[in-house]
Chains A and B, each alone.
Chain A
């Protein structure tokens, strides 16, 4: 797959947080347990992924009964690319698709140029999508962040 499992979960979870907004009387923090239940993602996995997002300054976390995670930056300022880089690192955009360590612009492997074109297009696409836009899409079109089965079970 294009992204690691962590990245897929992290994207879904962060999109979920973005759709909640703030202003809830419980405060902006959402417990990891709630997110784990809502999206049917393992609590342990989520904790690890949220650590990376917190280190990257995208999320903030708080301990205690009203604790959990929340966005640390405004959703207009966070792009999909920010999330992918925070969780999976730059590998997708830098590594050779054949796995050759010396491959790069100066010493390209035979598929480098074509691959570089596609991944740049991907990178641009991710860089242009903000959490705010995606949250709006999700809310206005009722797009799904979880499996139908998980939603039905809730």
Chain B
């Protein structure tokens, strides 16, 4: 809800890649796991590749792979690549000029709230999510996490 569908799939796909323990996975395969059309997913993953989070390779044995260690990719990195910095930087009422000098009515309390939200995404790495995708987790279809 706060993120676009593309962003949600980007996060899921990256965690899946991290947890698979393999290098390159075909986009189609990831699409099957996530239940997403490969065409849509390919667009999303292309944006991640452009940002240097993933790399891609054509041909047999190709697909996409993490371009950085999973411990160094945070959820915030992925959000920035797909949905942009809005959530982490913008006024909660969407006023472009809102800031300390010309605050909107919610500015004062939004600041700390936004910092709290940002911290969740900055501090949650793809590695941690892949590791914690255990049998009780909703990431049930991920490798090593038991049956969905």
Contact = CB atoms under 8 A, between A and B. Distances in A.
Interface of A: 1-3, 5, 8-9, 11-12, 15, 80, 88, 91-92, 95-104, 107-112, 114-115, 118, 121-122, 125, 129, 134, 137-138, 143-149
Contacts of A118: 113, 116-117, 120
B132 A110 contact: yes
Interface of B: 1-3, 5, 8-9, 11-12, 15, 75, 86-87, 90, 92-98, 102-107, 109, 113, 116-117, 120, 124, 128-129, 131-133, 136-140
Contacts of A9: 94
15 contacts: A1-B87, A2-B2, A8-B94, A97-B3, A107-B136, A107-B137, A110-B124, A110-B131, A110-B139, A115-B120, A121-B116, A143-B104, A144-B95, A145-B104, A147-B97
A133 to B, nearest CB: 9
A110 B104 contact: no
Given A103-B138, A144-B97, A15 B1 contact: no
Given A125-B109, A134-B105, A144-B95, A100 B12 contact: yes
Contacts of B95: 12, 144-147
A110 B75 CA distance: 12
Contact of A5 (B94, B104, B107): B94
Nearest to A128: B109
B41 to A, nearest CB: 13
Interface centre among A92, A104, A147 (most CB of B within 10 A): A147
Contacts of B93: 8, 11-12, 145
Given A125-B109, A147-B95, 8 more contacts: A5-B94, A8-B92, A92-B2, A98-B11, A102-B140, A112-B138, A115-B120, A145-B105
Contacts of A108: 136-138
Contacts of A114: 120, 124
B2 A107 contact: no
Contact of B113 (A125, A137, A147): A125
Nearest to A142: B102
A118 B93 CA distance: 19
